[in-house]
Structure formats: structure tokens, C-alpha cells
């Protein structure tokens, strides 16, 4: 059997999933929110499982940024974070140029 929500178009073959969706739409289920990020769930057990991610992050953050206090357990996340410093440096550097693109007594090192 196929179930479709008239309010938003959500579709599923599971009656249980559809009922859970309807309860969420109607606002009868609680919305459990993580106090460390913007994750939310209608189910407390899902929030509890999600919070394990933050616990692991605290324990296993072996990759550290040399330019700030950022730490992570994933090298890929550190590489992505480092790009924010490059963007900040570029913004600051651009401020050393006037509107015509000439230098203001500053030696460009980029």
C-alpha cells in the first residue's frame, strides 16, 4: 500500500512511517534538540544516538588547526576548516588595495 501526505507530498509504503510523519506535521510529537548543534529529532532515542557524535569528537580530536583553537577527528574536516583562514587572509589583503586596484604603501605577498 502507498501513503501520501496531503499537506506536503511526503510518500511512503510504510504505515508506521506515515503515521510518524503525520504526528510530526501536526506537532503532536516533541521536537528534541541537540544542545551542541542544530540537529533535531522527534525521537529522544535518535537524539541520544546523535549526541554520541559529539562525545567522540571531544575524545578523538587529534587534528588541530595551527592558526586557531579548532580541533576535529577527521583530517578532511581540518582541511576544509583551513580554507576559512585563507578566505579571511584574502579579505584582509584586498583591503590593502584602494578602489582602483593600486597599492596603499603595502607590499603584496600573495
Listed by start position, the domains of the chain span: 3-59
Strands, DSSP E only, in the chain? 3-4, 11-12, 32-33, 40-41, 63-64, 71-72
Q: ∠ CA 93-99-104 to the nearest 5 degrees?
A: 55
Please say whether the structural domain 3-59 has been given the CATH code 3.90.930: no
What string of pLDDT tens digits covers the 110 residues of the chain?
Answer: 888 877 777 888 988 888 877 776 555 556 788 888 888 887 788 888 888 888 765 666 788 999 898 888 788 888 988 988 887 777 777 777 766 555 555 555 65
**Which residues have C-beta within 8 Å of that of residue 32, sequence separation ≥ 6?**
40, 41, 42, 43, 44, 46, 47
Amino acid at each position: 500500500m502507498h501513503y501520501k501526505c496531503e499537506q506536503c507530498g511526503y510518500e511512503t509504503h510504510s504505515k508506521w512511517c506515515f503515521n510518524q510523519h503525520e504526528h510530526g506535521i501536526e506537532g503532536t510529537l516533541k521536537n528534541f534538540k541537540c544542545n551542541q548543534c542544530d540537529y533535531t529529532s522527534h525521537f529522544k532515542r535518535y537524539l541520544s544516538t546523535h549526541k554520541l557524535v559529539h562525545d567522540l569528537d571531544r575524545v578523538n580530536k587529534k587534528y588541530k588547526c595551527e592558526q586557531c583553537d579548532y580541533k576535529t577527528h577527521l583530517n578532511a574536516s581540518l582541511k576544509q576548516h583551513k580554507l576559512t583562514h585563507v578566505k579571511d587572509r584574502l579579505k584582509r589583503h584586498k583591503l590593502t588595495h584602494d578602489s582602483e586596484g593600486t597599492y596603499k604603501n603595502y607590499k603584496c605577498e600573495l
